Every structure is written in C-alpha cells, then in structure tokens.
Amino acid sequence: STLSRNFTVGYRLAKGEKLEEIQANMEEVAEGINTVRLMKAFVEGTGMRAPITENLYKVLFEDLKIEEALQYLMKYPFSVDVDFL
C-alpha cells in the first residue's frame, strides 16, 4: 500500500534519499528497517544464504545503490540454492 511506512521508505530510497534523511522526518518507525537488520544478523549466525536480505541490508546501511542491488539479484545464478527459513 502506498500508505505503508515500509513502502514510503523504499520509495524514497528509490528516489535517491538516504536512510538517515528519511528516518529524520518520519513520525513513525518503518518496522522493515529493523527486521532487515535482525534477519541479516540471524542469517550470518547460521551460515545461511539470503541474497535479498543481504542486498536490502547493503542498500539500507552500506549505501549500495538500488540499481546495483537489483542487477546483482537479477544475475544471481539459478543453479545456486538459497536457504528458506
């Protein structure tokens, strides 16, 4: 939904804003931000692979451009298994 806080964060990131700027003027928390952080830590602790989560983390916290994350995911080999929780 366009009214979703998570949608709003993603939309604004796609427009080129930094996460810090977005969070600074949002009145409520977008729970997906903390969820990505927690899932990244969980995945690392288990040795699992979760390319979508890993790339979301890089976009949110390591300034990876959305276009680069999408290119990586679109080129991810079909023959490589990913882990499902």
How many domains does the structure of the chain reveal?
A: 1
83 inside domain: no
Range of the domain at 9: 5-74
User: Residue 53 maps to which CATH number?
Assistant: 1.10.1040.10
69 inside domain: yes
80 inside domain: no
Rounded-to-integer distance, Cα 13 and Cα 34, Å? 16
Place of tokens 């969980």: 42
Residue 36 has a pLDDT of 95
State pLDDT tens for residues 33-81.
Answer: 999 999 999 999 998 888 899 999 999 999 999 999 999 988 877 666 6
pLDDT band at 1 (very low <50, low <70, confident <90, very high): confident
47 inside domain: yes
Rounded-to-integer distance, Cα 48 and Cα 64, Å? 21
Helices (H), the chain: 5-14, 19-24, 31-46, 51-61, 66-74
23 inside domain: yes
Q: Could you give the angle at the alpha carbon of 22 between the alpha carbons of 5 and 3, nearest 5°?
A: 20
